[in-house]
């Protein structure tokens, strides 16, 4: 019933819009697509009372489940698990200690069932540190070149959502500064963000570990330390947006409870805003998950909040002509 209310709300977005057939070609024609284009038309038209100057046009995107696939486990988690396996010979105690035991046994069911934010932070601190930032980038690149999704048989950098990339491109064409604001590792995403999303590394904000300035063979380097600087999820997202961007976004795009505060922060700004959540309801072309999923949870409370506040909820099944490029 709630989804029906969301669809009814979108019917209000069919206002004065120009020719839409050439914009967002991977989106089905209808109210959802029209809401996005109508928003852009309003904030970029100098004759419109909702006009916003280019320097104030900021858009923020979550990554996992918003820009690329996150089921059954986000790609960075898989990278982290592979790193645990590669480091295991140096840590024989991992054979009997969780979560390392399940990771080494490739027991995905147990990993997902027992996953906690503390566990994730712990293993990421171990696997993302003890090297320079340059070496870490090389390791990530090598992994991305070889890792293939078992279901889709494609590299993870190919499993991006084409409709959302079209939104990124359209925003940039309309002089928006586009940022990725993710709970994932900032250094991990920066390796491929420009190539995959056309978002430069300096526009990536994510969970970040501490670094230390050192010298190796007389050359200055930044060493990655096994300490968390900040976690960029839930309330951490608006905090990091304020810290690193310094402007409240005009538009925010997410897909889960981890993005709620980012959308709230965006909406409470002055003037017209756009808040959008991707809802995964396409088990044939991608996945169908929501309130029961531990990965990318889209709770019933979040859906109620979206209805109450008029946020756009995108049905992958109904609103997208295609999902992957």
Query: Residues 210-249: pLDDT tens digits?
Result: 999 999 999 999 999 999 899 999 999 999 999 999 999 9
Calculate the CA dihedral of residues 16, 22, 24, 30 and round it to 10 degrees: 50
| Of residues 309, 317, 259, the one with CA closest to residue 32 | 317
How far apart, in whole angstroms, are the C-alpha atoms of residue 71 and residue 286? 9
Per DSSP, 239 falls in state H
Give the rounded percent of residues in the chain with a pLDDT score beyond 90. 84
Both tokens assigned to 260: 């709620």
> Strand, helix or coil at 298?
coil
How far apart, in whole angstroms, are the C-alpha atoms of residue 142 and residue 308? 45
Q: What are the helix (H) ranges across the chain?
A: 2-10, 31-44, 75-87, 100-104, 108-114, 117-127, 133-146, 162-173, 186-190, 193-197, 236-244, 260-267, 300-309, 316-319
Could you tell me the residue ranges of all domains in the chain? Answer: 2-71+159-319, 75-146
Q: For 148, list phi and psi in degrees, rounded to 5.
A: -130, 135
Across 21-26, average pLDDT:
86
Tell how far CA 283 is from the center of its chain: 20
Cβ atoms of 196 and 157 closer than 8 Å? yes
Across 144-152, average pLDDT:
97
Query: Residues 80-126: pLDDT tens digits?
Result: 999 999 999 999 999 998 889 999 999 888 888 887 777 888 888 88
Beta bridge partners of 277: 254, 313
Cβ atoms of 300 and 294 closer than 8 Å? no
Cβ atoms of 271 and 251 closer than 8 Å? no
Angle at 192 between CA 162 and CA 199, to 5 degrees: 65
> Strand, helix or coil at 279?
strand
- The β-bridge relationship of strands 177-185 and 204-216 is parallel
Across 253-276, average pLDDT:
97
How far apart, in whole angstroms, are the C-alpha atoms of residue 60 and residue 64? 13
Across 25-53, average pLDDT:
97
Query: Residues 176-200: pLDDT tens digits?
Result: 999 999 999 999 999 999 999 999 9
pLDDT bin (cut points 50, 70, 90) of residue 5 is: very low
pLDDT bin (cut points 50, 70, 90) of residue 4 is: very low
Tell me which residue has tokens 């003037």: 271
CATH domain 2-71+159-319 topology: Rossmann fold (3.40.50)
How far apart, in whole angstroms, are the C-alpha atoms of residue 72 and residue 280? 13
Question: In the chain, what's the furthest Cα-to-Cα distance?
Answer: 68
Q: List CB contacts of 307: < 8 A, sequence separation 6 or more.
A: 2, 5, 6, 9
Calculate the CA dihedral of residues 248, 165, 142, 149 and round it to 10 degrees: 120
H or E element in which residue 265 lies:
helix 260-267
Number of H helices, E strands in the chain: 14, 7
| Of residues 256, 233, 234, the one with CA closest to residue 314 | 256
pLDDT bin (cut points 50, 70, 90) of residue 13 is: low
Query: Residues 282-319: pLDDT tens digits?
Result: 999 999 998 989 899 999 999 999 999 999 999 999 99
**Which pLDDT value is given to residue 150?**
94
How far apart, in whole angstroms, are the C-alpha atoms of residue 222 and residue 180? 23
How far apart, in whole angstroms, are the C-alpha atoms of residue 284 and residue 293? 17
b/e per residue 37-70 (b: at least 16 CB within 10 A): bbbbbbbbeeeeeeebeeeebbbbbbbbbbbbbb
Count other C-beta atoms under 10 Å from residue 116's C-beta.
Answer: 10
pLDDT of 18 higher than 80 = no
- Per the prediction, the chain carries an average pLDDT of 92
pLDDT of 132 higher than 90 = yes
């Amino acid at each position: 019933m709630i989804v029906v209310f969301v669809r009814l709300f979108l019917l209000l977005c069919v206002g004065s819009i120009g020719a839409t057939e050439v914009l967002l070609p991977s989106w089905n024609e209808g109210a959802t697509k029209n809401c996005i284009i109508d928003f852009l038309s309003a904030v970029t038209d100098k004759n419109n009372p909702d006009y916003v100057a280019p320097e104030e046009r900021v858009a923020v995107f979550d990554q996992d489940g918003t820009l690329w696939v996150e089921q059954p486990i986000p790609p960075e988690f898989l990278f982290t698990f592979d790193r645990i396996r590669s480091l295991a010979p140096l840590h024989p105690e991992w054979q009997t200690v969780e979560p390392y035991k399940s990771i080494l046994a490739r027991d995905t069911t147990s990993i997902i069932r027992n996953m906690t934010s503390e566990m994730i932070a712990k293993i990421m601190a171990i696997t993302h540190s003890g090297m320079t930032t340059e070496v870490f980038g090389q390791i990530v690149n090598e992994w991305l070149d070889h890792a293939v999704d078992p279901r889709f048989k494609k590299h993870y950098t190919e499993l991006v959502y084409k409709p959302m990339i079209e939104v990124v491109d359209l925003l940039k064409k309309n002089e928006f500064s586009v940022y990725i604001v993710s709970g994932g590792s900032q250094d991990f995403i920066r390796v491929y963000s420009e190539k995959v999303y056309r978002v430069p590394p300096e526009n990536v904000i994510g969970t970040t570990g501490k670094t230390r300035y050192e010298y190796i063979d007389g050359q200055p380097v930044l060493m990655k330390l096994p300490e968390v600087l900040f976690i960029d999820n839930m309330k951490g997202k608006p905090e990091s947006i304020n810290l690193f961007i310094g402007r409240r976004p005009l538009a925010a795009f997410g897909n889960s409870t981890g993005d709620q505060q980012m959308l709230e922060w965006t909406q409470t700004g002055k003037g017209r805003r756009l808040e959008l959540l991707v809802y995964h309801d396409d088990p044939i072309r991608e996945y169908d998950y929501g309130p029961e999923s531990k990965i990318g949870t889209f709770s019933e409370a979040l859906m109620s909040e979206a209805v109450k506040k008029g946020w756009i909820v995108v049905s992958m099944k109904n609103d997208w002509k295609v999902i992957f490029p």
